[in-house]
Structure 1
Amino acid sequence: MKTITAKELESLLNEGKTLNIIDVRETDEVANGKIPGAVNIPLGLIEFRMNELDKSKEYIMVCRSGARSGRASQFLDSYGFNVTNMTGGMLAWEGKQE
């Protein structure tokens, strides 16, 4: 599984890179703040909403600590998606939140 650190992701965003970030936390967790531009698809809904994703794009998966996003990454990878897990999750995120 490919991984990226919170710092590396923050640097890419600060450089103005357009990234596809999926936050797999529950809706109430995301309400407390998420990475700007991240789309919330709770882990339990990934299987049902993966038809909304494009296999030609790269997705960066985020959760609170990195465990749920790791499971989401493995699941989507098994279906041929290009996914990267942000290690440490939002606990490691020091950048802007919306």
Structure 2
Amino acid sequence: MNVITTDELLQKIDAGENISIIDVRESDEVATGIVPGAKHIALGQVEASMDQLDKSVPHYIICKAGGRSAMACEILEENGYNVTNVAGGMMSWEGELQF
């Protein structure tokens, strides 16, 4: 499984790279702030929502600390998606938040 730090992800965002960020936390957690531009798909909905994701774009998967995003990465990887787990998750995120 590919892994990236929150600092590395922030650099990609700042560089304007065409990436997709998927936040797999629950709705109440996302209400406290999400990475700007991220799409919210709770972990339990990942399999049912895969058809909404473009297989030609790299997806960076984030949660609170990295555990649930790792599970989501496994599901998506098994289905042919290019995914990277964001280590440390939102607990390590030092960039702006969208509410």
TM-score by length of 1: 0.96
Question: Gaps spanning 5+ residues in structure 1: where?
Answer: none
Do residues 37 (structure 1) and 32 (structure 2) align? no
Sequence identity, in percent?
47
Match of 1:91 in 2: 91
Q: Check if 1:81 corresponds to 2:81.
A: yes
1:63 maps to what in 2?
Answer: 63
Query: TM-score, with normalisation over the residues of structure 2?
Result: 0.95
Unaligned ranges ≥5, structure 2? none
How far, CA to CA, are the matches of 1:18 and 1:79 in structure 2? 21
Give the superposed CA RMSD.
0.7
Displaced runs of 4 or more, over 4 A: none
Aligned to 2:47, the other structure's residue is in SS state helix
Q: CA deviation at 1:14?
A: 1.5
Task: Name the SS of the counterpart of 1:36 in structure 2.
Answer: coil
